Structure 1
Amino acid sequence: MSEAMRPALQSLAEALQRLLGAVEPLAAVDTLPTAEALGRVLAADVVSALDVPPADNTSMDGYALRAADVARPGTVLPVAQRVPAGVVGAVHQPGTAARIFTGAQIPLGADAVVMQEQCEAVAGEGLAAVRVNAEVKAGQWIRRRGEDVQQGSTVLAAGHRLDAAALGLAASVGAAVLTVARRPRVALFSTGDELVMPGEPLKPGAIYNSNRFTLRGLLQGLGCEVIDLGIVPDNLDATRAALREAAGRADLIITSGGVSVGEEDHLRPAVQAEGSLDLWQIAIKPGKPLAFGRVQDAWFLGLPGNPVSSFVTFLLLVRPVILRLQGAAVLAPQRYQLRADFDWPRPDRRQEFLRVRLNAAGGLELFPNQSSGVLTSAVWGDGLLDNPSGQAITAGDMVAFIPFSELLS
């Protein structure tokens, strides 16, 4: 194909805008027990039916009392009652102290708690007593009713991806079930007679199908239901049949390889025959070729075949699409400004995503081989350095770092 016939390069931002503008969130939802909703995206707000905490309580083991009854450190007060967690309706007697334990409700009339480390028991006749060896201020070590959550407030909004802390927060307001987006169904297959599976003999000219494992793992990490159609025979009829099966079962079809402009294979004509297809050239490295289209009611994304290109393109372009399908509110990963501890004197004209890792000094080290075929770099690294087009890097420069922890879930 001549240079004039090649699609123009488009920026990553332009490609993302087009993808996300085309894809709509799935309409279907699931209702799950809160304990089973980890990693899912909320489809409805979680609104608290109660105050959290539901009553004033102590954040320390110690003694509940009135601050006015402790004129100075060393004051001795009789211990009139014991208040463990779960006791309700205790009433404080002025001029006394109440032994109290973390989480217990503050007795009515008490206005402070003194931690037990600042008190000492005093032996004597009759009631036990305690010497308070600290100054006391009203309100200390008391967690107020509604301090964390107020009744009627939205504690988790629709679009929130549920991590462990979010599940705990939902449980704290009594949410036994949650309404979440249905898992996207993603069909995955590979084409190419040169591909074999690990464990099979590696004949001359053959390669192991690593992309199948990488992409499947990435999809599972994003909460997708993966429909793995394996390796499809390298002919047009078989490829068209695989696309029809995938479209009948999935919301999204993903393949790797066979999408470069001018490449001779059966995938491109098969998608064009069964639906519609655009071939894009994205101004990123690694990456560049991307196919986007539709087969029946399923979206289609064709990724480049080189392992790192497929990995990076998935993280930058497919991940936001999958989050969009789930109705997630946040699609973009967080970037951090960190110091480069290396030189990069010959930048590419495309936006580069370099595999780097953090060192003990808080800077970034560069994997020595940035080839798109070196998957070792993705395992060695802690994330991607987002380097603008044509931007040379000198050791000490501040650069944009995207941790894999932001991209892999």
Structure 2
Amino acid sequence: MNLFDTYIAVDWSGGNDRGATPKADAIWACVAGEEPVYLRNRQLAEDWLATRLETEAGKRVCVGFDFPFGYPAGFAKHLTGDEDALALWDWFEARIEDVPKSNNRFDVAGAINANLPDIGPFWGNGLKRDIDHLPRKGLSRTNGDFAERRAVEKLAKGSFSCWQLSGAGSVGSQVMMGLPVLTRLRRRFGAAVWPFEALDRAVAFVEIWPSLLAKSFPTDKIKDAGQVRAVANAMAAMDAQGTLEHALKKGEGAGAEGWILGVGAEDLLEAAMRPTDLPKPPKLRDDCFALPAGVDWTPVDDALARLEAAVSRVVGVEQVSHTRVVGRVVAEVITARRSNPPAPNSAVDGYGFAHGAAGEGDQVLPLLSGRAAAGGAYEGAVPYGSAIRVLTGAILPDGVDTVVLEEDCSVTATHVAFRGPVRPRANTRKAGEDVVAGDQVFDAGHVLRAQDAGLLAALGVDRVPVFERLRVGVLSTGDELVEPSQDAPSDRTYDANRPMLLQLAQAWGFEAVDLGHVPDDRAALKSRLDEAAAGCDVILTSGGASAGDEDHVSALLREQGNLQAWRIALKPGRPLALALWQGVPVFGLPGNPVAAFVCALIFARPACLKLAGAGWAAPQGFMVPAAFEKRKKPGRREYLRARMGPDGVEVFASEGSGRISGLSWSDGLVELPDGAAEIVRGDLVRYLPYGSFGL
């Protein structure tokens, strides 16, 4: 039996009214199974929630809010005299003043800080006017009475501190402006608050974190809308699966700090985090591979253009950690969560000061004690005309805008001397000089690399929206094939194509699915294709695609898969069988290993990348001198196995499609044009390194 009947997810905001047009960073709410609702300010959000809870009277309702329900241990008792988080809720509700265009959250935070020794925990004054006791930067704080994060936030990596009131990740404003609303709704509807109270009433309030519960969500134009839909549906799925009750139990004993739903139960959330309402890409049309009437031999460029027009994305969307993005395809625009660097800092080890205090000639400045280091910022300000020790990567202290290299200075215990003039801002980096918070970093369709993972980490981007991995099934057919582990008589052939194609698929970032080997048995082949269609997004076969007596692949695909045999003016290769089997595209590659390899690179790779959500990928070629001679007839484009040598590009001695050793010998292909050609040594030819094919 489910714990609840209705599930609501709310993405809160601590800012002012966002206007009538739906926007990001506003308040969004969604009931499981329904569409997200845009709420431009907290007053409208409170009214909407109250109306919805009245509508749900008689049902058990779970409402998730994406901000902390409590503060680090000791804070509630400090303010209220009681280590009860709900007493803290009442305290804020009595003091927060909130109208659509303004509120007093910064003043309340300043007043709290004022009653603590030194500078209290709150920071991030987002107003133009200064507020006593509320610093604009977190590094200016000196109070250590309370932890920076709750215990649960130390487990939920990537979560933010509730002390921050402005800037990216300003969860603190959401808390301060959200708790009064929840206090009034709790009082009105008798809601139970998890984990502080037993969930034995009709309405329950729980703390959620979308990054945990909505690792996959639709690519709505506004991300927040997609997230609340995904979270509401995930809570419903968790309850149906029995994992919601387990996740709630993980919060028991958390005390006044509260807990985030799902933390500690991540191993049971995977099924719920794959929502069923993701929009599925449309299947390919049944006639997508059909050629116009009268087409006989198709030039390579025409075939590629037709193939590009015929295929489209067939995979859904999910979110993955930035640590697992290599080879994945970006599903929606990714923006920087914070600037890089986040603050002005030093590019060298040296001594920092205000540039205006230095003149043209020799300079001697008083040297302050202490230093600024990476991860250990100097907490005070540097007086005008003084200097301080600064290490590489350190945030520049207030009063410092220029750094002199350590090697250019003479230093005593009390002074530093150097020769002027020094240019303004020398040896410093500006905040955001690399990337500014909110900047677009990657477009949809970009295939992520290891260096991209580093950039995402530097910008604070943890969860990355990507397309699901394309599942590429690889099938070998024919009675003549045997596995390399077996002893084979001379009339049998070791299966070279399947391992080659499987590892090509892996190298391209796809999920390679080994469909094994099927003998020349039409019933067995049909059964294997049926299984493949249920578990793969695209199928690659090799051999059996011509018109011979034992070409069961082509016969079966012609009968039930709308086979189109493209005769391409290409060497090696020529026949390329294209079909749909139960809506899944099938690429019938030639049986000869060299031809299968070349056709996979030229045709299967760009098509699969587009099916996977990436852009159509043409290989990057280079004109290089030929270290070979060749005469070519007109009519077909040719690809020669090649590698770079001391005198230019060399080609393999044989052009036979069965000479697989030439693939290992080569490091790329020479592409010869469709027309006639007579190449002598030193002529420029187009060379395509295997690296341009993602290998």
What pairs with 1:7-406 in structure 2 (closer than 5 Å)? 8-72=296-360, 74-81=362-369, 82-86=371-375, 87=377, 89-121=379-411, 123=412, 127-133=413-419, 135-261=421-547, 264-346=550-632, 349-360=635-646, 363-389=648-674, 390-406=676-692
- Offset at residue 370 of structure 1 (A): 2.7
Q: Deviations over 1:303-350 (max 9, x none)?
A: 011111100100110001110011113522222232323322345631
Q: Distance in 2 between matches of 1:282 and 1:134?
A: 72
- Offset at residue 151 of structure 1 (A): 1.9
Q: Counterpart of 1:85 in structure 2: which amino acid?
A: A
- Offset at residue 395 of structure 1 (A): 2.2
CA contact (8 A) 1:56 1:144 kept: yes
- SS at 1:95 equivalent: coil
Q: 1:263 to 1:157 in 2, by over 3 A?
A: farther
Q: 1:15 to 1:83 in 2, by over 3 A?
A: same
- Offset at residue 210 of structure 1 (A): 0.4
CA contact (8 A) 1:91 1:108 kept: yes
Percent identical pairs in the alignment equals: 38
- Offset at residue 145 of structure 1 (A): 0.9
Q: 1:263 to 1:342 in 2, by over 3 A?
A: farther
Q: 1:67 to 1:310 in 2, by over 3 A?
A: same
Q: Distance in 2 between matches of 1:324 and 1:280?
A: 20
Higher normalized strand content (fraction of residues): 1
Q: Distance in 2 between matches of 1:101 and 1:331?
A: 45
Q: Distance in 1 between matches of 2:690 and 2:430?
A: 39
Segment of structure 1 superposing worse, 77-86 or 265-274: 77-86
Q: Distance in 1 between matches of 2:364 and 2:378?
A: 26
- SS at 1:328 equivalent: coil
| Unpaired runs of at least 5, structure 1 | 1-5
Q: Counterpart of 2:624 in structure 1: which amino acid?
A: L
Q: Distance in 1 between matches of 2:405 and 2:646?
A: 39
Q: Distance in 2 between matches of 1:7 and 1:406?
A: 30
Q: 1:207 to 1:120 in 2, by over 3 A?
A: farther
- SS at 1:229 equivalent: strand
Q: Distance in 1 between matches of 2:380 and 2:448?
A: 38
Q: 1:174 to 1:262 in 2, by over 3 A?
A: same
- Offset at residue 141 of structure 1 (A): 1.7
Q: Distance in 2 between matches of 1:104 and 1:211?
A: 55
Query: For the aligned residues, what is the CA RMSD?
Result: 2.2
Q: Deviations over 1:180-232 (max 9, x none)?
A: 11111222211111111112011121111000110010111122222222110
CA contact (8 A) 1:335 1:402 kept: yes
Q: 1:109 to 1:40 in 2, by over 3 A?
A: same
Q: Counterpart of 1:62 in structure 2: which amino acid?
A: G
- Offset at residue 166 of structure 1 (A): 1.0
Q: Counterpart of 1:17 in structure 2: which amino acid?
A: A
- Offset at residue 27 of structure 1 (A): 4.4
CA contact (8 A) 2:503 2:512 kept: no
- SS at 1:20 equivalent: helix
- Offset at residue 177 of structure 1 (A): 0.8
Equivalent residues, number:
399
Segment of structure 1 superposing worse, 80-89 or 146-155: 80-89
- SS at 1:78 equivalent: strand
Q: Distance in 2 between matches of 1:261 and 1:134?
A: 84
CA contact (8 A) 1:84 1:100 kept: yes
Q: Counterpart of 2:524 in structure 1: which amino acid?
A: A
Q: Counterpart of 1:132 in structure 2: which amino acid?
A: F
- Offset at residue 252 of structure 1 (A): 1.1
- SS at 1:327 equivalent: coil
Segment of structure 1 superposing worse, 52-61 or 102-111: 102-111
CA contact (8 A) 1:7 1:281 kept: no
- What TM-score do you get using the length of structure 2 for normalisation? 0.55
Q: Deviations over 1:79-106 (max 9, x none)?
A: 2241111315542333332211111112
Q: 1:408 to 1:128 in 2, by over 3 A?
A: same
CA contact (8 A) 1:61 1:116 kept: yes
Q: Distance in 1 between matches of 2:427 and 2:679?
A: 51
CA contact (8 A) 1:254 1:302 kept: yes
Q: 1:98 to 1:336 in 2, by over 3 A?
A: farther
- Offset at residue 285 of structure 1 (A): 1.4
Q: Distance in 1 between matches of 2:556 and 2:297?
A: 24
- Name the counterpart of 2:181: none
Segment of structure 1 superposing worse, 270-279 or 74-83: 74-83
- Offset at residue 134 of structure 1 (A): 6.4
Q: Distance in 1 between matches of 2:496 and 2:315?
A: 33
Q: 1:220 to 1:302 in 2, by over 3 A?
A: same
- What TM-score do you get using the length of structure 1 for normalisation? 0.91
Q: Distance in 1 between matches of 2:616 and 2:416?
A: 53
Q: Counterpart of 1:371 in structure 2: which amino acid?
A: G
- Offset at residue 274 of structure 1 (A): 2.4
Q: 1:78 to 1:314 in 2, by over 3 A?
A: same
| Unpaired runs of at least 5, structure 2 | 1-293
Q: Distance in 1 between matches of 2:316 and 2:639?
A: 35
Higher normalized helix content (fraction of residues): 2
- Name the counterpart of 2:191: none
Q: Distance in 2 between matches of 1:88 and 1:198?
A: 66
Select the structure with the greater relative contact order (CA < 8 A; seq sep ≥ 6).
Answer: 1
- Offset at residue 360 of structure 1 (A): 4.7
Q: Counterpart of 2:399 in structure 1: which amino acid?
A: G
Largest Rg, 1 or 2: 2
Q: Distance in 2 between matches of 1:259 and 1:265?
A: 6
Q: 1:63 to 1:279 in 2, by over 3 A?
A: same
Q: 1:302 to 1:116 in 2, by over 3 A?
A: same
